[in-house]
Copies of this chain bind each other. A is one copy, B any other.
Amino acid sequence: MEKFKIKFYPAGKAIEVPKDANLLSSAISAGVYINASCGGDGVCGKCRVIVRKGKVNTQPTGMISSEEMNKNIYLACLTTVQSDLEVEVPRESTIGLEGLTPEDIHSRFKGFYSASEKIDSSLSELAKRKFVFKPQVIKKYLELEEPTITNPSSDLERLTKHLRSIPDFYPDKKGPIIPSGLVNIRQLSGLLRSSGWKITVVIGEKDDTWELLFVEPGDTAIKNYGFCFDIGTTTISGQLVDLNSEKILGTKITYNKQVVFGSDVITRIIYAGKKEGLEKLHLAVIDCIDQIIKELCQEHNISINDVTCITCAGNTTMIHLLLCIDPTFIRKEPYVATSNFMPAIRASEVGIRINHRGYLNCIPGVSSYVGGDITAGVLACGLNLLEKPSLLIDIGTNGEIVLGNREFLISCSASAGPAFEGSGLKCGMRASRGAIQKVGISKDGIVSFETIDSDAPRGICGSGYIDAIAQMLKAGLLDKDGKIKDAKYERVRNSEFGKEFVLVFKEDSGIKKDIVITEVDIDNIKRSKAAIYSAAETLLKHVDLSFDQISRIFIAGGFGTNINIESAIRIGLLPDLETKKFIFVGNTSLAGARYAIFSREARDEAGEIARKMAYFELSVDPKYMDEYMAALFFPHTDLNKFPSAKD
């Protein structure tokens, strides 16, 4: 078959592909991360590339103007390779991974995880408790008695008996041997004798049974490490923990490499149904996990063989993809997962490189759209222990809401869409370098803004849109319906998609184009915020409660650490309550996973939470649509609900 070379700029990465290869797939294979929110269906128009040299075939699309076509701009997903190519990937088409060191990514997410590292003290204080330390894997140094002719019991029985003789030690079963893999048994006799009967046993809990994970010569008990992960649709956070000291040794965050296959769970599920799609998505997430493990282990001079356990929290689709389980039916009515409770498996079964016998656990979920990340969130906030009803709102790529206290838990998932992550918006982008995250508009119309990393502005992220819209409302530039008012103001102008507001003129922009907010964008944000607000309200009404009876609102998710509460209330995303009732809790998914890796009690409680939590399917409740329609205003149809916005 004819093969062609493609070189991608500015990354400088090259690859050889057969004739007719898809250009987006080729880029992915080359490790060039091109934005493709829609998963390569030619719909989102994000994967624009410039073909500098060479021949391609492309399908016609309304996303590319004829002017752009003349400049050899194509949608990579609709384009096939017909010769050797040189391809330029413009900055706005990348997902922001190129040229970034792990430290860059780390610093970008600083707020994200520092909150999560601090959450312990603040949250456990809130929940007034601390879980009993009992990790899932323990190491124990033993000096066995050597066998004699009068005490010739077998090696494994000798070992088991010794383990059982240790007071307060875990294995509680009464059998003559501890369950154990054949590989351990095969090595046991030689290992015991070559080590002079001085060994370290590694014991783990699986399916409610303690088993012998492995045995090492000498005393290695001090080296016992785990990882907890939050597997988000957009980002993956991992934390290296010491399973002896209960300490966090380090945290890393990276983009979920699956984003190149689609930006939300729905496009990923569709992608999973394509040929080799599931495997690609699976390998992408495993690759991210392996990378975080490798880097953190190197930084802390830890061998991956001493990593014995991983606990993951993620939404139901992410967990399916992590384990390479077909997620198809999550998307199809009646929205059924293969399982919300996944059995503990060995991490090596899905190709994760830690100790070959080490575990991979997933925090159980509630339903197809309320996953283990939410269970972990409830666990981390201690929502299930509070006396008074409280809310947990987790705004990630989707929006999940839990209402409850120690007596009940009810959850729902709002189809908020990915607008708060910048998807589907003309200049929208994820909260990464160069994203406008804070906006001020003075009474005389002067715009000020702040970008992530103070870099030249590339686009607007969720918190930027919230601020911008709140400020536009305040400045009288926007009516409550979300229409931009006519104004003799250079920043307001007409375009083919209705009116737009220029936040940054191209002269000041990092992408040499105006950064604008269109009425279509505002409508998008309006629908997203309405979905979340009305979901919370519907959930409350369903149990005959109202917002003023709520004692706390936990705001979780990476998104949550940056938004301005007043702006969020002003646009009607959050209810109009005293700001002190809102508590930013950061990445509770990661915190909950960490609780679980450290404590049997927390693991059991996660299971109880998942079993106890009811799932409320909004789409079958006719009242939800009414609430939603009423919320399609800034801040709301019923201004009595937002007294602070009356002025």
Contact = CB atoms under 8 A, between A and B. Distances in A.
Interface of A: 147-157, 173, 175-177, 179-180, 182, 185-186, 188-190, 193, 207-209, 211, 323-326, 328-329, 333-343, 345, 349-350, 364, 367-368, 607, 610-611, 617, 620
Contacts of A207: 179, 207, 209, 211
Question: Nearest 3 CB-CB pairs, A to B?
Answer: A156-B339, A154-B337, A149-B334
B186 A325 contact: yes
Contacts of A340: 154, 157, 176
Contacts of A338: 154-156, 185-186, 188-189
B607 A176 contact: yes
A584 B185 CA distance: 36
Contacts of A367: 152, 154
Nearest to A189: B338
Number of copies of this kind of chain in the complex: 2
A182 B323 contact: yes
Contacts of A350: 182
Given A154-B339, A336-B155, A329 B189 contact: yes
Contacts of A182: 323-325, 343, 345, 349-350
A371 to B, nearest CB: 11
A536 to B, nearest CB: 22
Contacts of A179: 207, 343
Contact of A155 (B153, B323, B339): B339
Contacts of A617: 149, 152
A165 to B, nearest CB: 17
Contacts of A620: 149-150
Contacts of A209: 207-209
Contacts of A607: 176
A336 B190 CA distance: 12
A345 B156 CA distance: 16
Contacts of A326: 186, 189-190
A281 B333 CA distance: 56
Nearest to A360: B182
Contact of A336 (B154, B328, B337, B368): B154
Nearest to A179: B207
B152 A208 contact: no
Nearest to A151: B334
A173 B324 CA distance: 27
A80 B155 CA distance: 40
Most buried by B among A173, A175, A323, A338: A338
A413 B276 CA distance: 59
Contacts of A329: 155, 189, 193
Nearest to A365: B154
A468 to B, nearest CB: 38
Contact of A323 (B151, B185, B328, B333): B185
B189 A324 contact: no
A343 B209 CA distance: 13
Given A152-B335, A176-B364, 14 more contacts: A149-B333, A149-B335, A154-B336, A157-B339, A176-B610, A176-B611, A180-B343, A185-B323, A185-B325, A185-B338, A186-B324, A189-B326, A189-B338, A209-B209
Contacts of A173: 208
A216 B628 CA distance: 45
A177 to B, nearest CB: 5
